[in-house]
Structure 1
Amino acid sequence: MPNLSKLVNKHTISLATSAAMPVIGMLVLSLMAHNLSAPEFGNYIFLLVTILLADTFRNGFVQTPLIKFYAGTGFKTSAEVAGSAWHVGLMQTFVFVGIDAIVYFAYPSKSPDIETTIQWFGIIYLTTLPGAIASYILQAEEKFGRMLLLQVINQGLFFLFILALILLHKISFQTAVYAYFASSAVTSLFTIVVGWAKVKSMRFRSKEMGSKLAHFGKFSVGTSISSYLLRSSDTFIIKLMFNPALLAVYYIPQRLMEIFEIPMRAGVAVALPELSAAVHKGDERDVARIMKRYAGMLTVMLIPIAIVAFLLAKIVIDILFGKQYHESEAVNIFRLFMCYVMLMPIDRFFGITLDIINKPQLNMLKVIIMLVVNVAGDFIGIWLFHSLYAVAIASLFTFFAGAIFGYWALKQYLKFTIRDIFTLGFQEIKSVIRHLLEKSKPEHKEA
């Protein structure tokens, strides 16, 4: 494998970047849950979910198109893409800020907390734009060390602000909102000052490139929204069909699945710019090779982890969530989830490869098919078996549907087989392990 040391370093930094945000975020949420009243904490979660939903639009409309058209290009094209992405990002942000302003002045809220949420959403969303675009550009340039630093600055500042408010006994929903705004503002200002956000590239924007980004982005947004609904559909259906107490039972294994999302996000972050560069070179064989390499490596790596997690599910849930859950359906639901872990990297990389080869409409269709299968499977399973297990089993069919459609769609444009993915993935993992073992050996110098 060429440039093995570079590949391992990129994966290590990308993995740290992918892990930094959820780990620090979970720590902050824990602090706030212990120091805010239940209504105030609920208001903060509502604001956070609203911002994350709006970020889903931004990521779909700006992030994926920027990386696709930016990575592997020369200075002139990359500057044009960055400038046009800034223009598209600003237009999309102003639409959301405008809607927020209309709601703020038209909605006669009697609750100061809801009024604070509506008032600050638009301000925060606008403030986070430079930091978001900087992170997209850094990912396209494969500068994962800087991405990690950006995450640490943003999440680290927010953690310190919240900790200071708690120590000063000033923590409340409103002061938490101020802390969120302050950390976002400092991060964005930092990216502008050091040049990572490439604000000056706006003078290179073009109408043609802006149209290309927007055209691609409309499908990417459709994919992002469908993915969000896919992740949330089980929660809504369980809340509708079962006792609300069972929602926590299902939420536990769902939350544990985020462990597997960390290496997946890291792999996607590294693979996206490589895939884009190969597409710009017109090298279809290299596109297929990169897709097979990353999908295969992640699959081979996750299979033994999934087996161990399957065997230790009861112990893990007991330690993390208490004895009241290790005798519940949560243990076996988590074990059912482990049965389709091997499909997750393949499904994810089929999707992003469809995006990168300029077939975002097929990726969107893939996710919509998965959403339909999941919702239909949930209702049919619950109707037949009246059990939470039916919802978990429906997820198996969901990922099978996505992987089958993704395989069929990609086969129209690239030459590969499922066997290729496993074979190359196993070879790459062996090469990485061999490289790490050789690197760890002490060097013997001749006397």
Structure 2
Amino acid sequence: MKLKQLGKKFNNIHFLSLLTNGSVAALGVISNALLCRALSLNDRGEWLVFLTTFLTVDSLRSGFLTTAFIKFYAGAEKEKADRVAGSSWFIALVITLGICIINIPTWFIAGHIKDTGLSLFFKWVGINMLVSLPYFMAICLLQAQARFDKLLRLRLFNIICFIAFILILYFANLSTTQYTIYAYMLSFAISSMVALLTGWSQVQTFSKKSREHILELYHFGKFSVGTIVSANMFWTIETYIVRYFLGPAALAVLDIGVKLLEIIEIPLRSFAASGMPLLSAAYNNNDPQQVLTTMKKMIGMLTVIMVPVILVTIVFAEIPISLLGGGKYVHTEAVNLFRIFLVLCLLFPADRYMALTLDAIHKPRVNFYKALVMLAVIVIADIIGIQLTGNIYGIAYASPFPIIIAILISYYHIQKYTPFRFWDIYRFGYQETWKNLEVIKKRFTKS
């Protein structure tokens, strides 16, 4: 009986959402660890150029549709939901085919591009977008339906396919950038086939598209796509700067230092998923103090909890780098870069949840223009950092500037909504953390 009750507690959308993010992140770390061992530093650097560029182009589709689709599909009656799904399929297909058409002339010039990663991107971007389309639509639909159990299965299937192909290439002694890209495309093609066969992609709704819903999705998506693409451009710009100033090997070393930080993204995303409804409800109830309290709790508590974890990880930084990258990365700059980025992580909650608060109080334009300012600062700071140091540490030293500027911009605009002192966030977070620890302690004492 207790096991059934426990199962019911865990069988909810919040736990399944966290489980999905956590599982995919864990398998992502495993796939990266395998690539670190299978590919040389140069090959992995070229793979990162390809992947980063592809994900930036893919964000045109995901940025345009994901938020807009969920907004208009979730909670709608079946007839309207089908029309929204069909209209989304139409827009996604138009974007995908548009990229495929552009890819036709770039295919012929790809052979003249010296950079291997970019050359392979210009060859395969169209096909990659096409084979991943049903998978992408299924992900959107399952999110909108809050079917996180199916979403978990589909995303796990996709990444497990990729890991399996990496292992096959490794044991067949065929681990190169080009074959890794083939494995990436094949994993999406198989996942898309599963999405079509299971009906999760709902391709049959394409015939129910309507001009009204296409325009509705378009007018919403044209604003959301700018913010998403701008956010994706941060790492893309750094990728190109490092690649062309320091080479692909330096890019591979930098990525190892950054990649492990994705684990911190798990609680950040989970807090965001549960915090956004609370912030929106407080704003809709015209309660600025509750908006402020929710924001301070999310930022303050998570930062306080992160401090001891980060301190311990800094001391033993060689261990996770060795586990992820293997011996070839331990004696590079990757370990110290990881330490620097860990300290920088303490700013992530303030940056992320202040941006979330701006969305909740209906100021998404501030986030968009803030992203553009951050892009400009990243370019300037990275180039100056590399010129001053002459090595990869220049990127690490430049990294705090765009985040600090983003926090200051967010702080200024939230202040206009409801005044507060910045450092009160961490004082409040410390107090709330201790309160929760006392409650947990009392429960254990009673039991």
| Same-fold status (TM-score > 0.5) | yes
Counterparts of 1:333 and 1:174, CA distance in 2: 28
Does the 8 Å contact 1:57/1:225 carry over to 2? Answer: yes
Q: Paired residue for 1:123?
A: 127
Counterparts of 2:154 and 2:100, CA distance in 1: 24
Counterparts of 2:334 and 2:88, CA distance in 1: 43
Q: What is the CA-CA distance between 1:304 and the residue it aligns to?
A: 2.7
Counterparts of 1:339 and 1:58, CA distance in 2: 34
Alignment counterpart, residue 307 of structure 1, candidates 311, 335, 341: 311
**2:67 equivalent to 1:67:** no
Q: Paired residue for 2:23?
A: 20
Q: What is the CA-CA distance between 1:149 and the residue it aligns to?
A: 0.9
**What TM-score do you get using the length of structure 2 for normalisation?**
0.75
**2:56 equivalent to 1:53:** yes
| Cα distance change on mapping 1:429 and 1:245 into 2, 3 Å | same
Q: What is the CA-CA distance between 1:162 and the residue it aligns to?
A: 4.6
**2:345 equivalent to 1:341:** yes
Q: What is the CA-CA distance between 1:252 and the residue it aligns to?
A: 3.9
Q: What is the CA-CA distance between 1:65 and the residue it aligns to?
A: 2.5
Q: Paired residue for 1:230?
A: 234
Amino acid at match of 1:99: I
Q: Paired residue for 1:86?
A: 89
Counterparts of 1:85 and 1:392, CA distance in 2: 40
Counterparts of 1:72 and 1:62, CA distance in 2: 17
Counterparts of 1:170 and 1:73, CA distance in 2: 49
Q: Paired residue for 1:375?
A: 379
Alignment counterpart, residue 216 of structure 1, candidates 212, 220, 228: 220
| Cα distance change on mapping 1:296 and 1:84 into 2, 3 Å | farther
| Cα distance change on mapping 1:363 and 1:258 into 2, 3 Å | same
Amino acid at match of 2:130: L
Q: Which moved more, 1:375-384 or 1:219-228?
A: 375-384
Q: Paired residue for 1:402?
A: 406
Amino acid at match of 1:57: L
Counterparts of 1:319 and 1:184, CA distance in 2: 27
Counterparts of 2:179 and 2:318, CA distance in 1: 39
Amino acid at match of 1:349: Y
Query: What is the number of equivalent residue pairs in this alignment?
Result: 434
Alignment counterpart, residue 106 of structure 2, candidates 97, 103, 122: 103
Q: Paired residue for 1:144?
A: 148
Unaligned runs of 5+ in 2: 1-7
Q: Which moved more, 1:90-99 or 1:166-175?
A: 166-175
Q: Which moved more, 1:301-310 or 1:65-74?
A: 65-74
Q: What is the CA-CA distance between 1:188 and the residue it aligns to?
A: 2.3
| Cα distance change on mapping 1:33 and 1:375 into 2, 3 Å | closer
**2:267 equivalent to 1:263:** yes
**What TM-score do you get using the length of structure 1 for normalisation?**
0.75
Report SS of the residue matched to 2:399. Answer: helix
Deviations 1:29-57 (A, max 9, x none): 55566667899877765554443222222
Q: Which moved more, 1:371-380 or 1:88-97?
A: 371-380
| Cα distance change on mapping 1:326 and 1:36 into 2, 3 Å | closer
| Cα distance change on mapping 1:429 and 1:151 into 2, 3 Å | farther
| Cα distance change on mapping 1:69 and 1:275 into 2, 3 Å | farther
Counterparts of 1:210 and 1:164, CA distance in 2: 43
Report SS of the residue matched to 1:146. Answer: helix
Q: Paired residue for 1:445?
A: none
Unaligned runs of 5+ in 1: 443-447
Deviations 1:402-441 (A, max 9, x none): 11212333455578775468747974896599679969x9
Counterparts of 1:331 and 1:39, CA distance in 2: 19
Does the 8 Å contact 2:45/2:250 carry over to 1? Answer: no
| Cα distance change on mapping 1:71 and 1:354 into 2, 3 Å | farther
